[in-house]
Homo-oligomer: A and B are copies of this chain.
Amino acid sequence: MPAAKTELFTDEQIRIAELAKVLGHPARIAILMHLFKINSCVCGDIVEEIPLAQSTISQHLKALKDVGIIQGEVEGTKTCYCINPKVWQEMKGVLGQFFGTFNGCC
């Protein structure tokens, strides 16, 4: 893609797209679902849950962390990843509002 023309869109449009984009891969959805399921933080067992290489999962975790949805904390030799409630709320709000904008027309 030749040059990201981010200046052409509003900050809101860019943020919505950014948040949606990070949800745009099954592995990252699976990671988040696992976090929901255990209802706490994952501390080092994600690789067993998802059939991908360790380095690949680490990349997906980084993508989620970069956008802010999760946060990691080093615990000795392991790393604990948790949902960032603040960003999760933001996402719920931003995307929820976006969805709510359309109420049917034609």
Enumerate chain A interface residues (CB-CB to B < 8 A).
5-6, 8-10, 13-14, 16-18, 20-30, 32-33, 35-36, 39-41, 50-52, 82-83, 85, 88, 91-92, 95-96, 98-99, 101-102, 104-106
Query: Contact between A9 and B24 (Cβ–Cβ < 8 Å)?
Result: no
Give complex CA distance A88, B102 in Å: 9
Interface of A is mostly: helix
Give complex CA distance A96, B9 in Å: 25
Closest to A8 in B: B51
Given contacts A17-B23, A40-B105, A41-B105, could you give 5 more A-B pairs where the C-beta distance is less than 8 Å? A13-B29, A18-B24, A82-B105, A95-B95, A95-B99
Give complex CA distance A26, B95 in Å: 13
